[in-house]
Structure 1
Amino acid sequence: MEISVDTHTHTISSGHAYSTVLENAAAAAQRGLSIMCVTDHAPTMPGAPHFWHFANQRVLPRFLHGVGVIRGVETNILNTAGEIDMDDRILSMLDWAIASFHEPIFRPADAKQHTQALLNVIQSGKVDAIGHPGNPNFDFDFEAVIKAAARHNVVLEINNSSLSGSRAGSEQRCEDIAACIKEFGGRITTGSDAHFAYDVGNFTFVKQLLAKVDFPCEQVVTYTPSSFLSFLAERGRAPIEEFSVFHNA
């Protein structure tokens, strides 16, 4: 399976990543990606940029090195109410929003509390994807969350970084999550979670996992640029005029 879109990348603005937007875009072009999402950490993450950073993404060109640029954010899930650390006004300026658990922000608790937080953030309508759900520090009720995500048209992420050692113990959980999504009819997105340019568009372990569970291409929103843009349209995101070239791709 080829994957055309990387929906989770970080730049030097995240504070613990090491490449610029231009460097990431050049790496994405080398990998043959069509679209790259810029998803720096939202403000409550230590070292993360001010909210102006996200509001000002309008200055980013829609194409860099021939790769389409999606303006996004990786927000932090703050509590069991499913609140996130990004103002609605800023979210409305962006194309794409991920919500993730991060240990410095949400202290790991029990599966019941994690499940409640995920259900609430999914039902809020504010985010398009749940980032790195395979993290073993944040156990949750797979069936309940996956079914809720399918109902509310939110995708769960299969994260290449999680599968390559950044979150030890994620491999089997990610496989189980993918199998459950296949069974219950949800969809996934694919993110490198790159914190250095060379990892942008690296889906080596994602592809191995999807092949292992025989995951259907039609349930992968990043399979083609048009499938990703169609998903954004389903989410009510405004069309991006410059990306009309992708609609049949």
Structure 2
Amino acid sequence: MNYVIDTHTHTVASGHAYNTLLENIKYASDNGIEVLAATDHGPKMPGGPHIFYFSNLKVLPRQIYGVTLLKGCEANIIDFNGNLDIPDRLQKKMDIIIASLHDVCIEPGSREKNTNALIAAMKNPYVDIIGHCGNPAFPIYEEEVVKAAKEYKVLIEINNSSLPESGSRAGSLETCKKVARLCREYGVSITIGSDAHSCFQIGKFEHAHKLLMEVEMPEELIMNTKSGKILRYLKNKGKLEDLQLD
């Protein structure tokens, strides 16, 4: 299966990543990625960018090195009501928003509280993706989350960096498999994110691909296989007004 979209990448602006935006885009261009989402951490992440960084993304062109750039954010869910660390006025201007739980931004709660936080975030019309929901630090009721994703038309991320035991969130694999199987069962679209913190990770989905093949995820539910899938999804949500699709 060919993947041409990466919906989760970071630059030096995130504070603990190692390449610039142009370096990321050039690497993506050289390695077959047609659509790249720049999703630096929201400002509540220690070392993260100031809010002005996100308000000024408008200065960037839509196409760079032949890659369609999505100007976004991995926003931090900061309470169990699903509120984000990006104000509404900026959320409206983002091309793409991932909402994620990070234990440096919110103390993990009970399974019920964590589930409520994700579902509440999904009710936000500007949230497009729920990030790395297999994180064992934040146990959830997986079926409730997947059913809510279907109801609110939000994508579930299969985060490649979470899956190996040496990865960012060791112990995520079994929950991610369960979530993926539920997405297949309920017909919920997923997106693969590299969660790249260096350009060399962009478009590297070997662990996520293996998982998706194991659970027999149908290609029509995988957003990364054709650029038009993610772009139409976002346009249907009222985003990417400047972009014309065939």
Note the C-alpha offset of 1:221: 1.8
Note the C-alpha offset of 1:44: 0.6
Aligned with 2:222 (options 220, 225, 231): 220
Aligned partners of 2:177 and 2:242: how far apart in 1? 33
Aligned partners of 1:105 and 1:150: how far apart in 2? 27
Confirm whether residue 237 of structure 1 aligns to residue 231 of structure 2. Answer: no
Aligned partners of 1:66 and 1:78: how far apart in 2? 36
Runs of 4+ in 1 over 6 A off after TM superposition: none
Instruction: Give, as a single letter, the amino acid of the residue that structure 1 aligns with 2:201.
Output: D
Instruction: Give, as a single letter, the amino acid of the residue that structure 1 aligns with 2:154.
Output: V
Where 1:69 maps in the other structure, the secondary structure is strand
Confirm whether residue 196 of structure 1 aligns to residue 188 of structure 2. Answer: no
Note the C-alpha offset of 1:121: 0.8
Residue 112 of structure 1 is matched in structure 2 by 112
> Over residues 158-212 of structure 1, what are the superposed CA-to-partner deviations in whole Å (9 max), with x where a residue is unaligned?
0111113211101111111100100011111111000001001111111111111
Aligned partners of 1:240 and 1:103: how far apart in 2? 36
Provide the TM-score with structure 1 as the length reference.
Answer: 0.95
Note the C-alpha offset of 1:93: 1.6
Aligned partners of 2:215 and 2:231: how far apart in 1? 25
> Over residues 197-234 of structure 1, what are the superposed CA-to-partner deviations in whole Å (9 max), with x where a residue is unaligned?
10011111111111111101111122211111111122
Aligned partners of 1:80 and 1:222: how far apart in 2? 30
The question of whether the paired residues in 1 share the 8 Å contact of 2:92 and 2:126 is answered with no
Residue 147 of structure 1 is matched in structure 2 by 147
Residue 56 of structure 2 is matched in structure 1 by 56
Residue 13 of structure 2 is matched in structure 1 by 13
Residue 30 of structure 2 is matched in structure 1 by 30
Aligned partners of 2:23 and 2:124: how far apart in 1? 34
Aligned partners of 2:181 and 2:239: how far apart in 1? 28
> Over residues 86-109 of structure 1, what are the superposed CA-to-partner deviations in whole Å (9 max), with x where a residue is unaligned?
011111221000000001111112
Instruction: Give, as a single letter, the amino acid of the residue that structure 2 aligns with 1:3.
Output: Y
The question of whether the paired residues in 2 share the 8 Å contact of 1:153 and 1:235 is answered with no
Any unmatched runs of 5+ in structure 1? none
Aligned partners of 2:124 and 2:95: how far apart in 1? 17
Confirm whether residue 186 of structure 1 aligns to residue 188 of structure 2. Answer: yes
Aligned partners of 2:158 and 2:7: how far apart in 1? 10
Any unmatched runs of 5+ in structure 2? none
Aligned length: 244
Provide the TM-score with structure 2 as the length reference.
Answer: 0.96
Instruction: Give, as a single letter, the amino acid of the residue that structure 2 aligns with 1:202.
Output: K
